[in-house]
Amino acid sequence: MITYTGKTVFNGIAIGKIAVFKKKDKQVKRHHIEDTDKEWMRFNKAKDAAIEQLKNLYDKAVAEVGSDGAAIFEVHQMMLEDMDYLDSVKNIIDTQSVNAEYAVAVTADNFYHIFASMEDAYMKERAADVKDISERVLTILSGEVSDNVLTKEPSIILADDLAPSETVQLDKSKVLAFVTVHGSTNSHTAILARTMNIPALINVLMEDYEELNGKLAIVDGFTGTLYIDPDQSTYENMKEKQEDDRKKKELLKELKDKENITIDGQRIDLFANIGSTGDLASVIQNDAGGIGLFRSEFLYLEKDHYPTEEEQFKAYKMVAENMAGKKVIIRTLDIGADKQVDYFNLEREENPAMGYRAIRICLDRTEIFKTQLRALLRASAYGNLAVMYPMIISLEEVLEVKKIVEEVKRELDAEKLPYKNIEQGIMIETPGAALISDILAQEVDFFSIGTNDLTQYTLAIDRQNTKLEKHYDPHHPAILRFIKMIADNAHQAGIWVGICGELAADSSLTETFLKMKIDELSVSPSYIYPLRKKIRETDVSKL
């Protein structure tokens, strides 16, 4: 038996034979071309075909893993339209009189090294994306047909790394787990694996891994271990662990329709985070009490134009109707930082996480903001909608937002369009907002604590920088003190407070949050049942 260790992307136990995923080596040869205009047209035809493929991949990914996981294929479409990329290909074709394949290969190599040498972890990830889109164009130019059939039986997929497009095209019924030699926990492939609920390990350092094809293996996503040719004792222990995990998941389903109430009678709401209407099935299946975070920016990310009032209205109305009276909290546009939309024409920033983003854009480009508010208010007539505003740092911002909301209401009144007076809340995700939360609480109906950004800003750590993972501590006493302060200030003002960041799903802190009297936790749908179990087994009075 051989044992390897790596980083866990998603837990669980998988037992089966290994299927090694080998990328086809594209041997690109340089040819002299007489008619460079014709060659440029040939490239553009291949590029357009690649974009069409990516659109189909996006639709497939939305159906299988939701809009969050599918967003990368829109990023890839935008990268293929990037003028720097296109200018490089055209320049090589024109100045060197060479074939499109060679120009694409050189451009891909140059851009890969540029991105790979960057300090920012998010930008480093784009290096793999450049390779992925370029290989897609090369495949089309060469007339090859992609073949993603690895095996006829369910297997553990082992690869040096996997591009998002390779991941989503695999036959999910044949994938037991993912194991890659390289990769990052922040990569889009890792995000897809988590969304697909498939055990996955990355950074499993090994040599000659291609020789492991066909061997029996076990992936232990709980410990980050890969066993090759396991001995009988290990095999039996892992089978037992796998069965225990399956039984636990089945038992959790017995909690359907049960209250989120502790032994001593303290109640808390368990809501779901979603990115699009496509996530509603998972919300209902996991018995969420409502939606605590609808990331409305994905309506913008999935389009090549500003979504119209009607387009937004239909989406918000659908969610409100489907949730049948349960609360739906829609976060207004949170574009900027790592969520870029080409048609917004945002300038490149040295430090985008602290730059022009979220409510700052909305208060600057009020027509975009008012369009969204009109759609939200109109949809409120069809259910129980609430709205919250991200990245608030001052009382002045809150007052300005409320003034704009009142303007929109007057417009709707004049047009005789129905709406409800919905709850308005703000996200507390900066130290500044936390410190003045007693003042802010006087002007809003609720707080939602965004622990991802609150941790990043409080500890001065880029949460996407893999070099800083050991320093990124969401359990840091400063974070917990901020949460306690925010909760106390909210309750003193008579408003409720929730948590919608990753920390909400951290069961090791559930008792702490109950002790702080947090009113609501909003998490990915699959975490609802485990948290409900934890809550129902807790006696706050004895903590």
pLDDT at residue 190, rounded to an integer: 67
Instruction: Work out the average pLDDT over 438-451.
Output: 96
Query: DSSP strand E in 34-192: where?
Result: 155-159, 175-180
- What pLDDT is recorded for position 281? 77
63-89 burial, b at 16+ Cβ within 10 Å, e below that, comes to eebbbbbbbbbbbbbbbbeeeebbebb
Over 70: is that where the pLDDT of 454 sits? Answer: yes
How does pLDDT run across 120-173, given as a tens digit for each residue? 666 666 777 888 888 889 888 887 655 444 556 788 988 887 766 667 667 677
Q: How far apart are CA 241 and CA 223, in angstroms?
A: 12
Look at residue 517 and give its three-state secondary structure: coil
Q: What is the pLDDT of residue 98?
A: 92
Lowest mean pLDDT among 107-111, 423-427, 506-510: 107-111
What is the C-alpha separation between 36 and 96, in angstroms, rounded? 9
Residue 186 has pLDDT above 60, yes or no: no
Query: Could you tell me the CA-to-CA distances from 24 to 8, 59, 110, 136 in Å, in that order?
Result: 27, 25, 20, 12
**C-alpha of 224 from chain center:** 22
Could you give the percent of the chain with pLDDT greater than 70?
85
Tokens 């995923």 correspond to: 21
How is residue 238 written in tokens? 């892992």
Mean pLDDT of the chain: 85
Question: What is the H or E stretch that residue 18 is in?
Answer: strand 13-20
Instruction: Count other Cβ atoms within 10 Å, centred on residue 250.
Output: 9
Task: Check whether 189 has a pLDDT greater than 70.
Answer: no
Say whether 464 sits in a helix, a strand or coil.
coil
What is the 3 state secondary structure string of 288-306? CCCEEEEECHHHHHCCCCC
Q: How far apart are CA 372 and CA 362, in angstroms?
A: 10
Q: Which of 182, 305, 362, 500 is catalytic?
A: 500
φ/ψ of residue 488, rounded to 5: -60, -45
CA 228, CA 156: separation in Å to the nearest integer? Answer: 11
Query: Which residues fall in the annotated binding site?
Result: 295, 331, 429, 452-453, 463
The encoded tokens of residue 415 equal: 């047009």
Known binding residues for phosphoenolpyruvate are 295, 331, 452-453, 463
Q: Do residues 521 and 504 touch, judged by C-beta distance below 8 A? A: yes
Query: Looking at residue 305, what is its pLDDT?
Result: 78
Q: In which residue are the tokens 């009113």 written?
A: 519
Q: What pLDDT shows up at residue 147?
A: 47
Question: Scanning the structure block, which residue is given the tokens 């389903």?
Answer: 253
Give the tokens for residue 443.
């002007």
Phi-psi region of 214 (alpha: psi -120 to 50; beta: other; left: phi over 0): left
Q: Per-residue pLDDT averaged across 37-52, rounded?
A: 92
23 falls in which pLDDT band (50, 70, 90)? low
Report pLDDT for 464.
Answer: 61
DSSP annotation of 502 reads G
pLDDT at 75 exceeding the cut of 90:
no
Please state whether beta strands 216-220 and 446-449 pair in parallel, antiparallel, or not at all (unpaired). unpaired
pLDDT of residue 298: 75
Which domains, and CATH codes, for the chain? 2-23+148-251 (3.50.30.10), 36-142 (1.10.274.10), 256-542 (3.20.20.60)
pLDDT tier, 193 (very low <50, low <70, confident <90, very high otherwise): low
Q: Which residue of the set 188, 471, 476, 491 is catalytic?
A: 188
Q: So what's the pLDDT on residue 354?
A: 72
pLDDT band for position 439 (50/70/90)? Answer: very high
- Which residues, including other chains, have CB under 8 Å from residue 109's CB and lie 6 or more apart? none
Q: What are the φ and ψ backbone dihedral angles of 40, each rounded to 5 degrees?
A: -65, -40
How many other C-beta atoms lie within 10 A of the C-beta of residue 224?
Answer: 18
- pLDDT for 148 equals 47
The helix (run of H) or strand (run of E) holding residue 122 is helix 121-142
Note whether 466 and 185 are within 8 A (CB): yes
Whole-angstrom distance, CA of residue 31 vs CA of residue 196: 43
| Residues 289-307, mean pLDDT to the nearest whole number | 82
- Cα–Cα distance, 387 to 265 (Å, whole number): 29
Per-position b or e across 326-341, b if 16+ CB within 10 A of its CB: bbbbbbbbbbbbebeb
Q: Which amino acid is at 109?
A: D
Helix (H, G, I), strand (E, B) or coil at 43: helix
Residues 6+ apart with CB under 8 A from 517: 487, 491
Q: 97-124: per-residue pLDDT in tens?
A: 999 999 999 998 888 888 777 766 666 6
Q: How far is CA 161 from CA 20, 164, 183, 282, in A?
A: 11, 10, 6, 29
Q: Are 364 and 401 in contact (CB under 8 A)?
A: no
CA distances, 203 to each of 154, 178, 206, 224, 470 (Å): 23, 11, 9, 10, 16
Active site residue 188: yes
Q: Which tokens sit at 107? A: 């451009």
Query: Residues at the annotated binding site for Mg(2+)?
Result: 429, 453
Q: Are 204 and 5 in contact (CB under 8 A)?
A: yes
Specify the pTM: 0.61
pLDDT band, very low/low/confident/very high, at 436 (cuts 50, 70, 90): very high
- The arithmetic mean of pLDDT across residues 223-229, rounded, is 93
Q: How far apart are CA 289 and CA 292, in angstroms?
A: 9
Distance CA 249, CA 539 (A): 23
Mean pLDDT of 461-471: 71
**Is residue 216 very low, low, confident or very high in pLDDT (cuts 50, 70, 90)?**
very high
Q: What is the pLDDT of residue 385?
A: 96
Mean pLDDT value across residues 452-477: 81
What's the whole-number mean pLDDT along residues 172-191? 74
d(CA 430, CA 423): 22
Compute the average pLDDT of residues 233-258. Answer: 84
The band of 24, judged by pLDDT with boundaries at 50, 70 and 90, is low
362 has catalytic annotation: no
Residue among 285, 280, 281, 294 nearest 257 (CA) = 285
Report the C-alpha gap between 506 and 531 in whole angstroms: 9
- Whether residue 501 contacts residue 452, with contact meaning beta carbons closer than 8 Å, is answered with yes
Q: Where are the beta strands (DSSP E) in 87-236?
A: 155-159, 175-180, 200-202, 216-220, 225-228
| Distance separating alpha carbons of residues 259 and 275, to the nearest angstrom | 25
Report residue 427's pLDDT band, with 50, 70 and 90 as the boundaries: very high
One-letter amino acid at 300 equals: Y
